[in-house]
Structure 1
Amino acid sequence: MEEKKRAPRNRTITLSEEDKAQLSSRLMHAEGVSDSDENTFINRTINADLLAALPKLPDAFADLIIIDPPYNLTRNFNGLHFNARSEEAYDEYLASWFPQVCKKLKPTGSLYICGDWKCTSALQRAVQKELTILNRITWQREKGRGAKSNWKNGMEDIWFAVKNPDDYYFDLEAVKIRRRVIAPYKQGGAPKDWEETESGNFRDTCPSNFWDDISVPFWSMPENTDHPTQKPEKLYAKLILASSRPGDIVFDPFLGSGTASVVAKKLGRRWCGVELNEEYAMLAEKRLAMADSDTSIQGYSDGVFWERNTNNLIKAANAKNRP
């Protein structure tokens, strides 16, 4: 990656030459993966072309698959270019790998695939050929420039699908959102469906399929990297907590800078990721090493997801009330 001049408070994770020398040896390559020995791919970053890696991985090994593929946009991924194409050509691109990825999912497994407004219909077509779609999550992506002659693109989709709609795991309690109660209602003088505390009034609410509490990584956040389409840790934490148990295997075939693997590790899951670009794969390994000493996830603490900016207010109130 090109060296950038950064502000003193910039916390973006980068690779030094020393990092590269140490981290490159941790990467797996397709020829080293054995479908009969999970030690060769579990809790590992596979630096390889996806189509070369998939045949090496056993079928039905993953409890949860999270996919953030190249959208149908022209992008430069650290020198690897993906070019926008016709809708038909993008359908063909998805067909070249998505069915093979689905074979890696356990019969009781779940799959999430990310996209924007332009490619979401193609993703839906690809997914419904292989799996049963249960929902489409839309999350507010507050980043990027405005448009002069169009609406600013501030949303992305995540399709949620399973192999067996009668037998899959979903933990609603793990992904409830703690919100401030603005107009508290009492019954018999006691709070009804909310909790009264010294630092405020709160209610744990069921999540919907519209998420407006996600912060996209930027330069002052400790999870940020130079990857152009990095997904937030909080976003993936919701998917992993809802659709996997501790110890389950999370697979990401387009790992990028490692968010899926890092969040899986922080939440006590096992992981496997495939990434073509060596520097991104090394960034994933650096973030995994950092997770040994820091398991925090922005916006998630005390076992709940907090409404945007709420947790910081509570911390400030608690600090003020300390003797």
Structure 2
Amino acid sequence: MSSLSQTSQKKQRAPMNRTLTLDEQDKARLTLRILKKLPSTPFSEPPTGTIQGNCLEVAKLLPEGFVDLLVLDPPYNLNKSFNGRKFSRRTVDEYAIWLDEVVSTLKPLLKKTASIYICGDWLSSASIFTVASSHFVVQNRITWEREKGRGAKSNWKNSSEDIWFCTMSEDYTFNVDNVKLRRKVIAPYRKDDGTPKDWESTKEGNFRDTHPSNIWTDITIPFWSMPENTDHPTQKSEKLIAKLVLASTNSNDFVLDPFLGSGTTSVVAKKLGRKYLGIELDEEYSLLAEKRLEIAELEPEIQGFSDGVFWERNTLAIQQKGVFSNAKPSREQLPLLNF
């Protein structure tokens, strides 16, 4: 059975489930938008869109020095199945050797001013730092709260992931004002004249725009009621990737994701006015990416991002009464939910 047919079988879903799926018409239409057959000679210009294939093979056909931002979200160092393709846990050293091959192959594609974000968990982070520090300038490590997951009885519950922020040099883009977080003020301070000090009072509450830190607690992993959700087992949220794109690129810059999955990086780049190329080995995930890109043309919103700031979870003023009721929300309502 092909990887495409394995996950295409009908699943029993709850009536309110919003998970994006593919029907036969989708597959027939979207297959034409994916580049599957690689050319015999290298690309003279970087392609955009989605390439289905092995990123290590594709990278050798791409021109050098065109990428402004590399979002590298490889399989973590654990046992995981991706639509029938299995990645097996290795020793820390073995994973580092594998990751070094990936980075070494992709590095020539980067501009001298490029930024790189490498995703991992607590175990793979040991290998990531070793590899990243040998190729790039390691600027920081972001840790974000992954609220999903079952509790552990003999260990601490694993509820965080890391993103290592690296650059090719000390000359790089970082737009700090584009990634501020709007937090709700619980105990607001006032000036002597009684006016708010570094916060704003609104009818929905008191808020302050804060500079971004390397601890993110405002990210929700895509789940069944979110319109961006797919069946990909390790899908990142659009809100998370949007922070990386807005901070480390400018309009019309080029974003590359060589482990595209179901397309989050490309979708976010499209919504934010960047060029993009995603490479994905699996056919079904490639098609899902194209379907999401199609939807993004009509629905450019990013949940949790509004008015040029990222809102803390469950504080966005445009949440509408009745969206969480038993009535089925429309697609027009869904993007307004703040996750």
TM-score range, shorter chain: over 0.9
Structure 2: gaps of 5 or more residues: 1-6, 322-339
Counterpart for residue 213 of structure 1: 218
User: Offset at 1:3?
Assistant: 2.3
User: Offset at 1:115?
Assistant: 0.2
Residues 23 and 282, structure 1, Cα contact 8 Å, conserved in 2: yes
Counterpart for residue 3 of structure 2: none
Counterpart for residue 180 of structure 1: 184
Counterpart for residue 320 of structure 1: none
The ranges of structure 1 where at least 4 consecutive aligned residues each deviate by more than 2 angstroms after the TM superposition are 32-35, 312-316
The SS at the match of 2:161 is: strand
Counterpart for residue 267 of structure 1: 272
The SS at the match of 2:266 is: helix
Determine whether 1:169 maps to 2:173: yes
User: Offset at 1:14?
Assistant: 0.5
Letter in 2 for 1:169: T
User: Offset at 1:121?
Assistant: 0.6
Counterpart for residue 5 of structure 1: 12
Letter in 1 for 2:181: I
Determine whether 1:138 maps to 2:143: yes
Counterpart for residue 253 of structure 1: 258
Letter in 2 for 1:93: W
Picking from 37, 44, 67, the partner of 2:45 is 37
TM normalised by structure 2 equals 0.89
Residues 67 and 253, structure 1, Cα contact 8 Å, conserved in 2: yes
TM normalised by structure 1 equals 0.94
| TM-superposition CA deviations, 1:73-117 (whole Å, max 9, x none) | 111100111111222221221122211212211111100000000
- In the alignment, the residues of structure 2 paired with residue 261 and residue 159 of structure 1 have an alpha-carbon distance, to the nearest angstrom, of 20
Give percent identity, aligned residues only: 54
Letter in 1 for 2:138: I
Closer, same or farther: CA 189–312 of 1 in aligned 2, 3 Å: closer
Determine whether 1:90 maps to 2:98: no
- In the alignment, the residues of structure 2 paired with residue 314 and residue 198 of structure 1 have an alpha-carbon distance, to the nearest angstrom, of 13
- In the alignment, the residues of structure 2 paired with residue 310 and residue 250 of structure 1 have an alpha-carbon distance, to the nearest angstrom, of 30
Residues 30 and 53, structure 1, Cα contact 8 Å, conserved in 2: no
- What RMSD, in angstroms, separates the aligned Cα atoms of the two structures? 1.4
User: Offset at 1:312?
Assistant: 4.9
User: Offset at 1:119?
Assistant: 0.7
Residues 204 and 317, structure 2, Cα contact 8 Å, conserved in 1: no
Closer, same or farther: CA 288–150 of 1 in aligned 2, 3 Å: same
The SS at the match of 2:89 is: coil
- In the alignment, the residues of structure 1 paired with residue 247 and residue 37 of structure 2 have an alpha-carbon distance, to the nearest angstrom, of 30
Determine whether 1:288 maps to 2:296: no
User: Offset at 1:29?
Assistant: 2.8
Aligned length, in residue pairs: 312
What aligned pairs does 1:52-63 form with structure 2 within 5 A after superposition? 52-63=57-68
Residues 30 and 52, structure 1, Cα contact 8 Å, conserved in 2: no
The SS at the match of 2:255 is: strand
